[in-house]
Amino acid sequence: MNVIQLAQMLEFSQRGDERGHLVIVEGMEDIPFEIKRIFYIYGSDHDVVRGQHANRNSEFVLINVAGTSKVRVKDGKGNEAIYSLNRPHTGIYLPRMVWKDMYDFSEDSVLLCLASTHYDNSEYIRDYDEFVKLINMQE
Whether 2 contacts 79, CB under 8 Å: yes
Report CA 26 to chain centroid distance, whole Å. 16
**Catalytic residue list contains 89:** no
The DSSP 8-state label assigned to residue 139 in this structure reads -
Catalytic residue among 21, 46, 53, 89: 53
Catalytic residues: 53
